[in-house]
Structure 1
């Protein structure tokens, strides 16, 4: 039997439909993908049912194992660049039916919970550009590179198929360490790709976002949305206020302000109320921002990648000097020394 709604509250899940593009990639080597599925606790026969509910953590690891099996460090992005809207079920079909890209992105956001729980894809302002972020919200599940690259590559593919075949983002950001083949990622996305960032996101121009592409079939859209409502997976009700704040901080850091008033407004809280709730959980906005910044720095320094200026930008500092001082305040030593080994 599939996991119950109660199970999905305890453990983030997604529909087995998400595995279909990976399984198709191994059409010529069924034994290999079947072995990968079994090693991660999944029955190759049961996941043929697109509505089967599986653990999100298992799916993430399947993608990593599949990339190693294929000896392809950009497998996720490569598969994402050739998916069809139907591969994402009603989520992809709603985007294809939308009259404008803005409506399509909003419907994608609204319907994602039918495909995957504890996950958010959200349209935000990011300076002179717009951003669309992909974040796993559960503190118990760590996002992995292949899924992140697949998700953003797949979104770009849907934008091109649904609205403009020449569409490309301005920049692509990933939280993970640099890929073994960043050149291939940049070719797939058609844009610069940056690593060790505060969130997984694509940045793009607002131009053309409201251009009318088709007359919407509201009867069909209504039918798909009704199907989405039937499929919605239970979300995590146990996320703490600190978890919610971290989600907003990671989404906005380096792109928008992460001060108390801005974060409180986005969460629909009064600033003092937010402070009190965080204090009751033994933390504060300052501590959350600092911890997230330190995590990003560790990603950069662990791979000896990036300049101080690039790190400062990812962390939301005005320049490299401000970041240098902050890092020295955290650790008592200069980041440049660690970075150069």
Structure 2
């Protein structure tokens, strides 16, 4: 079944069922949880309905507040390890009913809009130069800078669901986050069972092809059809198409440092002819070069603002061959050397 791809971004939301791990964590501490919810104008009663739509921005702030209240800098990743398919409603159940890892990932990502809007999760099925496949996670629009807890919870939940549904021994090869490193990166690596890298161009899980098409169960076609119909009903209406420039920006941030961001690669990722992509961008008053430079500059500015960041690491994140190329690019953007931006 083909689902409507997205819900409108003007009122982004997440369904209350996604907060199930947070509610379990605060069992016996209801007063503390009520205070956190009240700060966002939410009542605990509103969360009893798993289909209740919680404003996405409030959900993101709530997760950060919960981590502070728990005095746990990696609460999101820790709660992700406690997720179950049922916690994510029909989206999670669709994953659990799939015969293979590839089918499960594809269905899960296709049904994500029923659970959370203004969100992109993309499966890169062709190995990159390291031989890895990847799933990236991004929030669109005003909530793009979602915070560490949501990003870590989302990727940790995904890894846990893949273990539960397909292979208890499954683990990623590497995990990337766009935010700065946690106060306890050692705990994150232990929770993910893989190296964790920060200040990357996107949040992503990288893994190998092994077992991707190995049958794990016999599918119940009737049950899957019912779940898919329910997902489609939840999505309700297809949103207006994103602008081409917004779609390009998402692909660029996903690919930087991992895959090409040239015209041919971006056009192929969007299913467009290169000339058609150029024409659409021109009509929107921009170009691929301008969008790539803007994304690189935004990431570079954020990284250079953090003490101790090495130019070599910034260059690698941005997909440059070495720090000299980055140095020249920064000079062309700002008129000064990168080192002066730290003064």
Q: TM-score, normalised by structure 2?
A: 0.92
How do 1:173-212 and structure 2 match up within 5 A?
173-212=176-215
Are positions 1:15 and 2:18 aligned together?
no
**Structure-2 change in CA distance of 1:274 and 1:75 (3 Å):** same
Matched residues in 2 for 1:212 and 1:238: separation?
A: 36
**Among candidates 170, 174, 182, match of residue 171 of structure 1:** 174
- 1:243 maps to 2:246: yes
Match of 1:278 in 2: 281
- 1:1-341 equivalence runs, <5 A: 9-124=9-124, 125=126, 126-127=128-129, 128-139=131-142, 141-232=144-235, 234=237, 236-237=239-240, 239-336=242-339, 338=341
Q: Is the 8 A contact 1:85 1:92 kept in 2?
A: yes
Please, what is the CA RMSD of the aligned residues? 1.9
Contact kept, 8 Å, 1:118 with 1:236, in 2: the verdict is no
Counterparts in 2 of 1:196 and 1:211: CA distance versus 1, 3 Å: same
State the alpha-carbon separation in 2 of the partners of residues 224 and 150 from structure 1: 24
1:183-222 Cα offsets, whole Å, 9 max, x none, are: 1111111111111111110011111111121111212212
Q: Which moved more, 1:139-148 or 1:37-46?
A: 139-148
CA displacement at 1:147 relative to structure 2: 0.5
Q: Deviations over 1:218-251 (max 9, x none)?
A: 1221221121111115565263222111011111
Any gaps of 5 or more consecutive residues in structure 2? 1-6
- Aligned-partner Cα distance in 1 for 2:294–2:136: 20
Would you say the 8 A contact 2:17–2:89 is kept in 1? yes
Structure 1 residues 328 and 9 mapped into 2: Cα distance closer, same or farther (>3 Å)?
A: closer
- In the alignment, the residues of structure 2 paired with residue 207 and residue 295 of structure 1 have an alpha-carbon distance, to the nearest angstrom, of 36
